Amino acid sequence: MPLVNAMVNGRAYTIACDEGEEEHLRELASYVDGKVRELLGSVGQVGDTRLMLMAAILITDEYMHAMDKLKTQTQSLSDAANAETIAVEALEAAAKRVEDIAASLGRA
């Protein structure tokens, strides 16, 4: 199992990962480091544990916001698909009525 040295807040953390996941893990650690650095700019050095917790909360907030947005978009797509189905059914019913009228006129 490969080990990756991830830098967060100027400290190296050795983390195990699956084969081929090393670069992805470095990217994730870099993102966390960015959040920690943002916090350092606004709250200062309040200790690694607090900074990591605050970064985790910020990242979780971003994640939940993205999931809510995705859920809303998925619901909108579902509503549009339902509306399309209803419209198709209405058009098919109208076409059937027109065909029935045309057939009855053809017999007259």
Answer whether 0.75 is exceeded by the pTM. no
Specify whether the CB–CB gap between 16 and 3 falls below 8 A.
Answer: yes
Amino acid letter, residue 7 = M
| Separation of alpha carbons 105 and 108, rounded Å | 5
Give strand pairing partners of 67.
none
What is the structure's pLDDT at 12?
A: 93
Instruction: Enumerate residue ranges in the chain where pLDDT < 70.
Output: 108
Specify whether the CB–CB gap between 17 and 7 falls below 8 A.
Answer: no
CA angle 42, 15, 30 (to 5 degrees): 35
What is the structure's pLDDT at 107?
A: 74
What is the structure's pLDDT at 108?
A: 65
> What backbone phi and psi angles, to 5 degrees, belong to 2?
-70, 150
The candidate with the shortest Cα–Cα distance to 32, out of 24, 44, 43, 20, is 24
